[in-house]
Structure 1
Amino acid sequence: MPAAYFVVRAIVTDAGKRAAFDRWYETEHVPEAVKAFGVSKAWRFWSLDDPSLHQAMYRFDDEAGLAAMLKGDALTKLVADFDRDWPDVKRTRETLVLAQEFVE
């Protein structure tokens, strides 16, 4: 079964808040999410084209694991924590399934 991914894109419009957001995501949010979701890999990115765009990606072993997380309480708690700490940061969520991995 192919891996599935949960992607969260956040727009941090206030440049003065980006360093604090980055620290919070690195030291609090990602470690909590990795543990709560039961995943072994996560990535974070800042866009080179748009410095306000932050993206986090969590890898699940398969679609079933991702679907179970989406229905569970872990996501609800993490969303509430995000909303409490970053109420002005807008975000979107996306789910993906791996179609191909090419390594040469």
Structure 2
Amino acid sequence: MPAAFFVVRATVSDASKRAAFDKWYETEHLPDAIKSFGVTKAWRFWSLSDPSLHQAIYQFDDETSLERMLKGEELKRLVKDFDRDWPGIPRTRETFVLAQEVRA
């Protein structure tokens, strides 16, 4: 089965909050999410074209593992923690399944 991905995009409009947000995500949220989700890999990005956009991608072994996480209590807890620590930061969540991988 192909890998599946959970993508979370946050918009940190206030530039003065970005460094603290970045540190929190790096040291608290991402390690907690990796452990809680049981993912194989995770990445974080800041957009070069829009510095307010932060994106995190979590790789799951397959769609079944992703669906199990989406229905679980850990996601609810992590969302609650995010909302507590970063109220007013809007987020979107999307899911993807790998269609093709090409390596040069």
Q: Work out whether the TM-score is over 0.5.
A: yes
SS at match of 2:55: strand
The corresponding residue for 1:93 is 93
**Alpha-carbon separation, structure 2, partners of 1:49 and 1:16:** 18
Deviations 1:34-79 (A, max 9, x none): 0000012100000000000000000000000000000000000000
Report the CA distance between 1:6 and its aligned residue.
0.2
Which runs of 5 or more residues in structure 1 are unaligned?
Answer: none
SS at match of 2:27: helix
Which runs of 5 or more residues in structure 2 are unaligned?
Answer: none
Give the AA of the match of 1:34: I
**Alpha-carbon separation, structure 2, partners of 1:10 and 1:61:** 24
SS at match of 1:24: helix
The corresponding residue for 2:46 is 46
The corresponding residue for 1:62 is 62
TM-score when normalising by structure 2: 0.99
Does 2:2 align with 1:2?
yes
Does 2:71 align with 1:71?
yes
Does 2:7 align with 1:12?
no
**Alpha-carbon separation, structure 1, partners of 2:82 and 2:72:** 17
**Alpha-carbon separation, structure 1, partners of 2:4 and 2:77:** 21
* Aligned alpha-carbon RMSD (Å): 0.4
The corresponding residue for 2:24 is 24
**Alpha-carbon separation, structure 1, partners of 2:31 and 2:41:** 10
**Alpha-carbon separation, structure 2, partners of 1:5 and 1:53:** 18
Identity, % of aligned pairs? 72
The corresponding residue for 1:33 is 33
